[in-house]
Structure 1
Amino acid sequence: MPPPPHGILRAAAACGALLLAAGCASSADTAGPGGSAGDIQAALSEGGELTLWTWSTKFEGAVAAFEEEYPGVDVEIVNAGQSADQYTALQNAISSGENIPDLAMVEYFALPQLALSEQLESVDDWGLDSLEGEFTPSSWQQMTYGGATYGLPNNTGPLVMIYNREVFEAAGAEPPATWDEFAEAAELIREDSGARIMSIDPGDAGGLDSLIWQGGGRPFRVDGESVTVDFSDEGTRRVTGYWSDLRERDLVSSQPGWTDEWWRALGDGSLATWVTGAWALGNISNTLTDNDGDFRVAPAPVWDEGDPQNAENGGSGFSVIRGGEDTALAMGFLEWFSTHEAAVAAQVEAGSFPAQTAVLEDPEYVSAEYPYFGGQQANEVLTAASGGVAEGWQYLPYQVYANSVFGDSVGPEIDGPGSIQSGVDAWGEDLRSYGADQGFAVD
């Protein structure tokens, strides 16, 4: 997975008309009739050209494997911008009816908004909903909206903790199993070396969302055109209070993630952990090459050891775009790319953490050793983390907008340090107002 987006453009969330009216759609507004497995196979046999939008570099091998299997199909990979920049470009292409890609990578948090504005084709119309059992339940659920499935899952981000073994050992701290133990380890590490155990990014809505999800909070509820935004539940307040306390005691920092300074802090031990999605193992090993052997992977701390609950941080699937040149061919590629052994193997080799259950249950995959992490069989941790994801989390049908304004209200309270609860309450007020302006019945 790429780094979490910051400063997401509000333009990606609105197009001058109510989202409920699907004002972003073009002349392709009316959904096609779909097709059968025979139609898909005929399109693959006939061949043609496809354009695939993704900012990730982890899919070249899988595309090459597909083209070897179907030499009559040429797939062009295009980087149209990362995350929100791609979604803005996609909206513009569909609105103009020009340069519409056939397929695009879509992060789970963005899928409801893109589906609602009728930018994506439902795979149900082509029989691909029969593939549900091949993917983890949480990833499949995140590719659905309003009772329809708008693509196939690709990768997931169950929370794990990457920690600096040397920093912990020097401080006499053990990898924490619970958040109480995490706070205790933070004190030991701060006293020993002056390091902080972690950084809370004041611009990363997804980071805080995943912690709230894991803590039992469910601030977003969507039922058709009815939306609830409520950060007052017990789980949310527990999480915001915990991190406000650690910030108040200067045990965690508020460095923005993915900056050179942040990477240096991880590399030199000034930050002792990174609680993040499973996809991050490849990012840290490819970036902090001088730290070979320094890090290990552990389960993310939980609130209750007797009832461990996990969450997702990041993850994405691929969707067929409404108005593309050849929907049947695109569906054929999507199915092969998402389920064929050669395609999935190429993606795993490139560092993707898969949503496909066959891989997660493969003993060879689970027992693979990671030289960068001291020979640890890290996939044991990752697959267990994936299996423990709690149910019930929902994203808003305007989550792209929500993420874009997170830093305006919550960011200053994290950076302050201040009351993170006050920040999310203010964020909620903004989101309720915005949702009502877009035509939702907001509570």
Structure 2
Amino acid sequence: MRTPPKGLTVPAAACCAVLLATACGGGGAQDGETGSTDRSADIEAALEEGGELTLWTWSTKFDDAVAAFEEEHPQVSVEVVNAGQSADQYTALQNAISAGENVPDLAMVEYFALPQLALSEQLEPVGDWGLDSLEPEFTASSWEQMSYGEGTYGLPNNTGPLVMIYNEQVFEDAGAEVPATWDEFAEAAELIQEDSGAHIASIDPGDAGGVDSLIWQGGGRPFQFEGESGTVDFTDEGTQRVTAYWSDLVERDLAASQPGWTDEWWRALGDGSLATWVTGAWALGNISNTLTDNAGDFRVAPAPVWDEAAPENAENGGSGFSVVRGSDDTALAMGFLEWFSTNEASLDAQVAAGSFPAQTSVLEDPDYLAAEYDYFGGQQANEVLVAASEGVADGWQYLPYQVYANSVFGDSVGPEIEEAGSIQDGVEAWGEELRSYGNEQGFQVD
């Protein structure tokens, strides 16, 4: 039986423009693989021979899975290294590859960073080793996010479909129903404010990923790229609907504009000053491990949708693992990647450590679906998470320089959120900066 998750950390985005140093010009990984090559015999031989591997990740939730691999493959030693969180790791990866020294065999890669790393030819396409045959074992959205152009550059690991964690008592005291739509969310916000002065939610002025997820769910598709050419356009109907909605909530003081993950923000969630947290499925472990005195206060519900007749969801966060070009033993690294990503002992260890998995075998497991969370009042919350994952809309793309894009989000969009201004003006200014930057780096961006 799979156990409920304990904790999972979401990394903050930061500037990593150094990755663009090799992104453009001359061939490029965007051409990717044109077919699949079965090299299972090479992988098996490498596993039997054994050797040493280095795995880069800033998360500790994979330690037990790595230990399980080493127990089954005693001839293989895997060193887990924290080379920095998120963009810090990607910068270190670029530096190691450029220097030709201390290159890891595998690395954790967030979905938003995958295009940038693939385009700069830092990752091995799994189709060259036949691992693209594993596609049916993962959710469609996670596989799509590990792919760029014609190639797939690793295997998915965890995902973050949007859900709503809400304070049940705050809603009951205000006489507010749990909202199924964003219109109902705004109505509940008014009732909650009238009752207690609390905000229904907060929007983070520095969190590009959070705003991107809301736009994704609202039908916006501002980033559209093929290879090194594309568009950045925040004027579509879906984007404008989302930005107008949240500008209105902030202007009416129904939603707060404050940075997330601070002590003040956690206290607001804990004391009911913030009634909900619309976030990725990974957050269940974070809130239960942080607000330990609030056991029983919160419940999990689907994120509100724009159209109940045609509901669509989005992702917020998530990552996979990739084999790094320059690995001393690519075959062995691919063998580890396959086992780590599909073996039941590995998946059980990861779920127990707090991962919301991308693997369909877990999401369809009756024991996993039936798991009850004492922290959430005995709720079978995984049922909500899995349904949220199944509803993720397709067609979303990240920029091939998204790491940089996230780092400058706060310069243009942040002030509009903080000052209750026009978030639409902010994202359009952000878009102008991203078009200019992309063209400066050698992309063709309209």
Calculate the TM-score normalised by the size of structure 1. Answer: 0.96
Q: Deviations over 1:336-357 (max 9, x none)?
A: 0000011011101111000001
1:255 partner letter = Q
Q: Could you say which residue in structure 2 is the equivalent of 1:27?
A: none
Aligned counterpart, 2:339: 336
The verdict on how the C-alpha distance between 1:327 and 1:34 changes in structure 2, with shifts beyond 3 A counting, is farther
The CA deviation at 1:4 is 4.0
Deviation at 1:225, TM superposition (A): 2.1
> In structure 2, what is the equivalent of residue 11 of structure 1?
17
Cα gap change, 1:286 to 1:342, in 2 (>3 Å): same
Q: Superposed, which structure 2 residues align to 1:90-105 within 5 Å? A: 90-105=93-108
Counterpart for residue 302 of structure 2: 299
CA contact (8 A) 2:16 2:91 kept: no
**Is residue 388 of structure 1 aligned with residue 391 of structure 2?**
yes
Contact persistence 1:12–1:400 (CA under 8 A)? no
Specify the alignment match of 2:40 in structure 1. Answer: 37
- In structure 1, the partner of 2:268 is 265
The one of 246, 254, 258 equivalent to 1:251 is 254
Q: How many residues align?
A: 433
What is the rounded CA distance, in whole Å, between the counterparts of 1:275 and 1:313 in structure 2?
Answer: 10
Map of 1:219 onto structure 2:
222
Match in the other structure for 2:3: none
In 1, are the aligned partners of 2:23 and 2:119 still within 8 Å (CA)? Answer: no
Residues 120-174 of structure 1: per-residue CA shift (max 9 Å, x gap): 0111100000000000000000000011000000000000000011111111111
The one of 307, 311, 314 equivalent to 1:311 is 314
2:344 maps to amino acid? E
Residue among 372, 375, 379 paired with 1:376? 379
Pairwise CA distance, 1:35: 6.8
For 2:42 and 2:340, the matched residues in 1 are separated by: 17
- TM-align CA RMSD: 1.5
The aligned residue for residue 29 of structure 1 is: none
Do the aligned partners of residues 11 and 122 (structure 1) sit closer, same or farther apart at CA in structure 2, a change above 3 Å counting? same
> 2:187 — aligned with what?
184
Q: Give 1:183 shift.
A: 0.4
Q: What one-letter code is carried by the residue in structure 1 that aligns with 2:242?
A: V
Match of 2:423 in 1: 420
Tell me how far 1:109 sits from its aligned partner: 0.4
**For 2:384, what is the secondary structure of its paired residue?**
helix
Question: What residue ranges of structure 1 are gaps of 5+ in the alignment?
Answer: 25-32
Counterpart Cα distance in 2 of 1:152 and 1:206: 21
Instruction: For 1:14-413, list aligned pairs within 5 A.
Output: 14-15=20-21, 19-21=24-26, 36-413=39-416
Q: Take 2:84 and 2:387, find their aligned partners in 1: how far apart are those partners?
A: 33
CA distance in 2, matches of 1:382, 1:338: 20
Matched residues in 1 for 2:185 and 2:94: separation? 43
Greater mean alpha carbon deviation, residues 238-247 or residues 54-63: 54-63
Please tell me the residue identity of whatever aligns with 1:44.
L
The alignment partner of 1:19 has SS state of coil
Counterpart for residue 30 of structure 1: none
CA deviation digits over 1:205-262, x for unaligned, max 9? 0000000000000000011221110000000000000000001001111111111111
Partner Cα separation in structure 1 for residue 52 and residue 228 of structure 2:
37
Unaligned runs of 5+ residues in structure 2 are 1-7, 30-35
Name the aligned partner's letter for residue 11 of structure 1: A
Equivalent residues of 2:231, 2:445 under 8 A apart: yes
**Structure 2 vs 1, CA of residues 105 and 10 (structure 1 numbering), >3 Å: closer, same or farther?**
closer
Task: State the shift of 1:22 in Å.
Answer: 8.3
Paired residue secondary structure (1:240):
helix
SS of 2:67 mapped into structure 1: helix
Instruction: Name the counterpart of 1:2.
Output: 9
Seen in structure 2, the aligned counterparts of structure 1 residues 357 and 197 have a Cα distance that, compared at 3 Å, is same
TM-score of the aligned structures, taking structure 2 as reference length: 0.95
Quickly say closer, same or farther: Cα 1:88–1:350, change in 2 above 3 A.
Answer: same
SS of match in other structure, 1:241: helix
Residues 206 and 48 from structure 1, CA distance in 2 versus in 1: closer, same or farther, beyond 3 angstroms? same
Distance 1:379 1:111, change over 3 A: same
Match of 2:5 in 1: none
Query: How many Å separate the matches in 2 of 1:353 and 1:344?
Result: 10
Go from structure 1 to structure 2 and tell me whether the alpha carbon gap of 1:157 and 1:20 turns closer, same or farther (over 3 Å shift).
farther
Q: Which amino acid aligns with 1:19?
A: C
Q: Is the 8 A contact 2:11 2:85 kept in 1?
A: no
Secondary structure of the 2:375 match is helix
* Rounded Cα–Cα distance in structure 2 between residues aligned with 1:10 and 1:104: 16
